Amino acid sequence: MSGSHILVLGGTGPAGTCLIRELLYREHPTIAYVRNPSKIPHDLSSSPLLQIIKGEMSDLPKHSLAIAQSSTIVLLLGPNSLRISDPQLFADIYSKSVFPLMRERSVKRILAMGTISIYEPEDKPSLIRWFVVLVVRLLASIAYVNILNVGQAFRTDAQGLDWTVFRIAGILGGADEASWRRDRDERDTFVGWQRRGAMAKWLRRCSRGKR
């Protein structure tokens, strides 16, 4: 049986920090599963609504404990380094760890970050998008393939789960409280550049089953 928390993986990056701010602002019990808890700002880590679990994605017992307490999982993970050598790294995190543990713990809802490199049949042609994807493919080919494999992992291995892969082109804005408060009041952007505070607000709504 699933719990009531929202589990954030990737919570020490700027986008994850903004999401945690939004969840705590909405007084929602939150779990941050992180490798380095010291990267979470003190004004967040001191909140009684935030539980911090230190662990690696490969640490299945700790990962399972975090998922067991959650109703929704939000993953803000991605290949942000040109030194990544395994094109299956992030897809395997989902297929071999996250999805099986979700089924084991009866957790259905998951939102995961992707990029515009992932194409869907209903997408409209865009020259700018084509150029951006081409540059990424040429300069960071392993990262590019990683993202494609993440999209494929959800299509083939996420049966029975309520999943959303949100695709970003680029996210702007800071993760400090002032930037988050300012950016969260921007209107939703479904195509184009997005600000972290606004994206956090949208993710919070989606985690509650709204769009």
pLDDT for residue 121 is more than 70: yes
Q: What's the Cα-to-Cα distance from 120 to each of 15, 75, 159, rounded to whole Å?
A: 24, 20, 18
Q: Which residues contact 43 (CB under 8 A, 6 or more apart)?
A: 177
pLDDT at 158: 96
Query: pLDDT band at residue 57, thresholds of 50, 70 and 90?
Result: confident
Q: Can you list the domains of the chain with their CATH numbers?
A: 5-207 (3.40.50.720)
Entry pTM: 0.89
Residue-wise pLDDT tens digits, 149-198: 999 999 999 999 999 999 988 788 888 999 999 998 876 655 567 889 99
pLDDT in tens, 64-106: 999 999 999 999 987 665 567 788 999 999 999 999 999 999 9
Mean residue pLDDT of the chain comes to 89
For residue 90 the two structure tokens come to 């992030």
